[in-house]
Structure 1
């Protein structure tokens, strides 16, 4: 059977050890599926992203259904088929069938969904929830912006069978997962998987609890791939991301002249990072092959890290645009 993953070979569950095995075991029990096997070649990134997702979306005081609505709305604006299906199925699992259908149609049935959709834009809406819930809601949104990009790059398509029958498939998957989403989980348990971060820079939304600790570890792991890119490649990536207003790049010609300022020897890596940031669904075999041949022997771990660096550049830009206000959900 062919693998649903592109360009990388995930660590098989039976062969997993250490943090990869721990993430697989925890996510199978708490999420109802193995979390992001395509990231397993970079175990520290895999574990840190799992910790951010778990501590923001799966635990806490905000209703799970509300956070699944945020995740689904983010997936819709990012046009990530896998994540759209996964999170609308989870919404069905919580019993929110009407909300799942509305989010899937691109509607904004309430202020929280409208905010979640706006987080991809140049001017996100103010927070429609109390500051105390920002670690959960903002963490869920930002984690899923990153997840959408890495899924589109390395595991595109739907997780559900059925093609045209996807709507019934989502509801059926939701029925199977209904017990899982109702579990009460203890905050902080994923932090044991992480290496301590000395003096993490506080994020204005993350508070000082488990989400903040997980985010610091995730930021460190996600930015490690910058060492695999040249100075010019990093500069062009960050310049392009800073100028990005949330639009999906045009089909014809992009990235066009964006890479002209990058030396030839750095251009293949810059292209991968830029695609991961702004158009991960356009990652191609030829782009990956060009990078591998330009830098010598590079394995799956290095590819995951270069893509993660680009994806996180976009997520950090989105986080910096957040409007921090005290509201009510």
Structure 2
């Protein structure tokens, strides 16, 4: 039987108990999709699953601002990261918001007809470049925690998806057909068009801390802090030289995609762990079976691989987030 998963075999969602089952229940209620592979793939490392969901929920789904606007920003992020699975998913979700013409314009690789929509899409695209001038925001400053949280959530999710899932959103690539996209979107419309209570994902987290300044006073902050803490735990799978190599590469990264020959990446025979982490950060779609096999040892479970990929993915997110400048208007709104 075909599976959307690459390199790992996550536990069956039907066997989920405890915190994992709680996360699946909330995803079904608030996202409208039962056990989506984007989150099931993280269930091999449950400590990553809850905060990844919490960050997406509290920003994209429950955060302030237009769901259409945040879907456009997330689509821009996914285009910038070359994640076709997520690009297709956000196109379907735009159908779910009722923006059928917009969704199909973007599916045809056309510019949005609305200047406002184009600005939101372009803003999402620009977020891949650390230190890019993202202001003036194409949304009110008070909505910045939700929009920035959405962008950073999908910089993480894109990388997990590209590394560990196939590119096909639906079996057989059915998402390529307009009628299928529209029907799938309409099936989600009731859930997408309501805004659930902010903060409901935070009880799924363990003492996450307040989070960064740009999310001060918002549930997005603790969710971001929790995901960072969980993802950074993957550093324990690398030695000091590997970590120094990853840190140096990310420090100098300017948002560009690596060349076809992966110039400057460590060789898989010499530093396979550092290579996997850097690929997860900069070009997760380039991770091959050979890259994974070169690193895996009998002691390296699926839990370990998911953690290593998450470490690399969040290293890129951290590089982007640390280069954000907080506008004066946002500082004035801090409690």
| Displacement after TM superposition at 1:97 (Å) | 2.2
Contact kept? 1:130, 1:327, Cα under 8 Å: no
Matched residue, 1:249: 258
Matched residue, 1:187: 198
Matched residue, 1:107: 111
Q: Which runs of 5+ in 1 are unaligned?
A: none
Q: Does 1:77 align with 2:80?
A: yes
CA distance in 2, matches of 1:308, 1:106: 33
CA distance in 2, matches of 1:38, 1:161: 17
Contact kept? 1:129, 1:326, Cα under 8 Å: no
Q: 1:326 to 1:70 in 2, by over 3 A?
A: farther
Contact kept? 1:6, 1:155, Cα under 8 Å: yes
Task: Tell me which moved more, 220-229 or 237-246.
Answer: 237-246
Matched residue, 1:7: 7
CA distance in 1, matches of 2:146, 2:193: 17
Aligned partner (choices 246, 263, 266) of residue 259 of structure 1: 266
Q: Does 1:225 align with 2:234?
A: yes
CA distance in 1, matches of 2:269, 2:287: 21
Q: Does 1:19 align with 2:16?
A: no
Contact kept? 2:211, 2:222, Cα under 8 Å: no
Query: How many residues end up aligned between the 2 structures?
Result: 319
CA distance in 2, matches of 1:209, 1:125: 20
C-alpha RMSD of the superposition = 2.2
Matched residue, 2:140: 130
| Displacement after TM superposition at 1:38 (Å) | 0.5
After superposition, give the CA deviation of every residue in 1:153-178 in whole Å (9 maximum; x if it has no partner): 00121212464743332222111111
Contact kept? 1:73, 1:103, Cα under 8 Å: no
CA distance in 1, matches of 2:96, 2:269: 50
Contact kept? 2:272, 2:291, Cα under 8 Å: yes
| Displacement after TM superposition at 1:297 (Å) | 1.4
Matched residue, 2:28: 28
**Equivalences for 1:207-226 in 2 at 5 Å?**
207-226=216-235
Q: 1:285 to 1:162 in 2, by over 3 A?
A: closer
**Equivalences for 1:31-46 in 2 at 5 Å?**
31-33=31-33, 34-35=35-36, 36-46=39-49
SS in structure 2 opposite 1:250? Answer: coil
Q: 1:225 to 1:134 in 2, by over 3 A?
A: same
| Displacement after TM superposition at 1:327 (Å) | 8.1
CA distance in 2, matches of 1:211, 1:327: 18
